[in-house]
Structure 1
């Protein structure tokens, strides 16, 4: 009942509309610019570069800049590695199945490494969900534009988001004192927790990617990295109940989001209308992501899938099917990873209490 209640409870707002507006503008301006230039083939690099604006939500301007510079730099590195991975000649010589497994392995390493970096830099949102998504999505796109063009768009988008993050300083009443934040190292306990969390991301992403790939081979389902993204969702949270709830909310929110997306696709939006939909969904996602995760997913789902359709059009029915199947696989894996340590401790405890009885 507590899990069910949490799925239908919304926390009070905390100036979320400001963050949502910054993020919506941060993705809309680069995408509409690329549309006007006739270069939507570069849209995926702008979309992921715009994730920079998600960090430092309600921080003072100086700290927000510091956090967003780090977050943007890490995202640029992930995008660069993904673009290079897509171009490695060795991958092209492998069979399609071999390429898929290589990408699963590489994405799993990104999941663990970025989770550790994010923890050490104290970035919020925590974890490596965005980095998993960015790396796998970009690395799986064949025949990409020249690397310098991809990275130029990514860098310019990151810089634009940094400017947006500081834009409220022009309003005297909104200007916070410019105090350079001092870096705070992790305590030994926090360092240990960061390593354990990184291991959890490795296990969840790797297992979900494996099952998602096998499901693709058996059922004809694609986009296995969506399972990897969904698998790490339950790993964020302070309690086991909250983490399990996030996994369930991911599934329910995705299902509702697919209904919304189906309605949008029935309207057959033009490219510029699709860009507007992406910006609106980005606004909606940031309005609720910190307050009600299931509701946020209703916006995140069409946001992610319309971005995919903008770059690589595929039959919508296939896209909708792949999303729900991979999400269920990933969320189930993530919940299992969350529950496994507790189950193991209870099993060891029972064995420990049973052993003296056998000896007596």
Structure 2
């Protein structure tokens, strides 16, 4: 009963509307600009560049700027590697099956590597969930826009997020001394923990991506990287109970979010309306992502799928089906990875 109570409880707010508004503006401005320019093929580069704004949410301006700069540069590197990976698949002449497995392997390496870097750079939120999503989503686009244009949009969006991050300094009441974060010094124990965490992300993403790919071949569904994203969700947390709770919340929140998405798509939206909905979903996600993960997923799910539809049009029914199947596969794998160490210790003790 306590497990269920904790899963559905909401923590007190802590001025969450401030970072939520920053993130919503950081998404809306670049996307509505691309709508007006008629370049929605570049929207995905803007969407992931805007992820810079989610870091350093509760920090003073100086610290936030440095943390967001680190996070933004890492995300730009991931976006660049994703675009290169897509082109490598074409250059090597990989067929559809080989390209799918190439994407799984590359995304798995990104999952482990970015988790390690995020930990060593002391960035929060932790883990490589956003980097897995960004890499796989961009690398799987069938018709890649020009690399220079895509990276330009990503860089400009990242710069906008940095600007928004310290824009409130214009208000005297919000101004604080410009202090940089202390130099990063890691103890041997912390470095070991970072490597082990990276290994956990590598295993969870790799197993989930492989299972989702095999199941997709058998049952006829796609978007295997959604399983890889869901698989790393339970890896964030200080206790096993909390990690399992996040995995279950991911599944329940996804189901509820799909209901919301169906209601959004029912009337049919113009591109500018779609962008507005994305900004509202981003606001809602940041409002609750720390306080109530299940409720945050109700906003995250429409946001993720609408951004996919904006760039690569597809049947909404197929996307809804793929999302729930992939999420269940990924969350189950993630929970399994969380429970595996304890199970191994018990087996050794027999």
Q: TM-score, normalised by structure 2?
A: 0.99
In the TM superposition, residue 3 of structure 1 has moved relative to its aligned partner by 2.2
User: Is 1:159 aligned to residue 151 of structure 2?
Assistant: no
Q: Partner of 2:315 in structure 1?
A: 315
Q: Partner of 2:346 in structure 1?
A: 346
Could you tell me whether the CA contact under 8 Å between 2:89 and 2:99 is conserved in 1?
Answer: no
Moved more, 176-185 or 43-52: 176-185
Could you tell me whether the CA contact under 8 Å between 2:209 and 2:228 is conserved in 1?
Answer: yes
Distance 2:221 2:176 in 1: 49
Deviation readout 1:146-193 (Å, 9 max, x if unpaired): 100000000000000000001010010111111122212121111111
User: Aligned ranges for residues 190-229 of structure 1 at < 5 Å?
Assistant: 190-229=190-229
Distance 2:9 2:203 in 1: 30
Q: How many residues align?
A: 350
Distance 1:313 1:2 in 2: 43
User: Aligned ranges for residues 107-256 of structure 1 at < 5 Å?
Assistant: 107-256=107-256
Q: Partner of 2:94 in structure 1?
A: 94
Deviation readout 1:205-257 (Å, 9 max, x if unpaired): 00000001011101111000000000000000000000000000000000000
Could you tell me whether the CA contact under 8 Å between 1:91 and 1:99 is conserved in 2?
Answer: no
Q: Pick the structure with greater CA Rg.
A: 1
Distance 1:89 1:292 in 2: 39
Deviation readout 1:22-66 (Å, 9 max, x if unpaired): 000000000000000000000000000000000000100000000
Q: Partner of 1:53 in structure 2?
A: 53
Q: Partner of 1:269 in structure 2?
A: 269
Distance 1:63 1:99 in 2: 41
Distance 1:262 1:245 in 2: 26
User: Aligned ranges for residues 274-293 of structure 1 at < 5 Å?
Assistant: 274-293=274-293
Moved more, 225-234 or 177-186: 177-186
- SS at structure 1 position matched to 2:166: helix
Structure 2 CA distance for partners of 1:89 and 1:124, relative to 1, 3 Å: closer
Distance 1:17 1:89 in 2: 42
Could you tell me whether the CA contact under 8 Å between 2:115 and 2:128 is conserved in 1?
Answer: yes
Distance 2:180 2:43 in 1: 34
Distance 1:256 1:97 in 2: 32
Distance 1:82 1:328 in 2: 25
Could you tell me whether the CA contact under 8 Å between 1:45 and 1:79 is conserved in 2?
Answer: yes
Gaps spanning 5+ residues in structure 1: where? 351-360
Could you tell me whether the CA contact under 8 Å between 2:110 and 2:132 is conserved in 1?
Answer: yes
Distance 1:53 1:180 in 2: 18
Q: Partner of 2:8 in structure 1?
A: 8
Distance 1:325 1:78 in 2: 26
- SS at structure 2 position matched to 1:51: helix
- SS at structure 2 position matched to 1:259: helix
Deviation >3 Å, runs of 4+: 89-92
CA RMSD, Structure 1 to Structure 2 (Å): 0.8
Q: TM-score, normalised by structure 1?
A: 0.96
